[in-house]
Structures are given as structure tokens and as C-alpha cells.
Amino acid sequence: MHFGEHITIDGYGGDPELLDNGELVKSCFPELCTLLGMHPLIEPQVISAPDNQIKDPGGWSCFVIIAESHIAMHTFPKRGFISADVYTCQNGLETEKIKQYFIEKFKLQEIETNLVMRGTKYPEHNII
């Protein structure tokens, strides 16, 4: 038994116009929640992130807290790149659905994913 699952997605070769569309980015959160049967606890927070003059040329940073944990993403339109993660206390995360969602939504050419099992020693019972 483990507490939950956490998938990270790094997408390459995405459409810069899609990655730079704040409304489109914001729409991902309710769509993903519906697709995965998750329940948002707050409205998605979407912030235009400026160029930091180091390695981040700007884009959108966004997250939503869900009853099951959180979903977050950062877009980098000038690089055609997206970094996203879905963390849930549910087991049996539908990773293929999530990957396909991001590929289609941002027209990604390539993705890297990692799946981490969280809380592998999660107690079966309350300790107090």
C-alpha cells in the first residue's frame, strides 16, 4: 500500500501560441479534474510569469489544490516547453490519459514522464 501517486510531465516541441494562452492554460484544470475524477478545492490560480533573465524566458505558472492533492504546470512558450505534475492520494493514476491530454492540448512533439509512488510507508491506522 502507498499513500498516492505523482506523475511529472516535461513536454517538448509544443505550440508556442497554445503555451502562451492564459485562458487555455486555465481551462486545463477543470478539464483534468473531470477527466480524472478529482475535486478542486479552490479556483485555479494562473499567473503570468515574467522573463527572469536567467533561463526562464517567461510564460504561465498555475496550480489548483484538489481534495486529492494538487495539479500544477508551468509553460515556456518561447521554448515550446511545459512542465506539469499531477499528485493524488488516489492509487491507480491513469497516466496514459494524462500524457495524451497534454500532448493533444499543447501539440507536444515529445514528452518525458516520471511516476513516483508517494508515502510507501504510510501508516494503516491513526497514531493518536
Domains of the chain: 4-118 (3.60.90.10)
Its pTM stands at 0.91
For the annotated catalytic residues, the residue numbers are 69, 74, 89
Burial of 21: CB neighbours in 10 Å, binned 0-12, 13-18, 19+: middle
Burial of 11: CB neighbours in 10 Å, binned 0-12, 13-18, 19+: buried
Q: What is the tens place of the pLDDT at every residue in 41-61?
A: 999 999 998 877 777 788 999
Q: What is the tens place of the pLDDT at every residue in 89-107?
A: 988 999 999 999 999 999 9
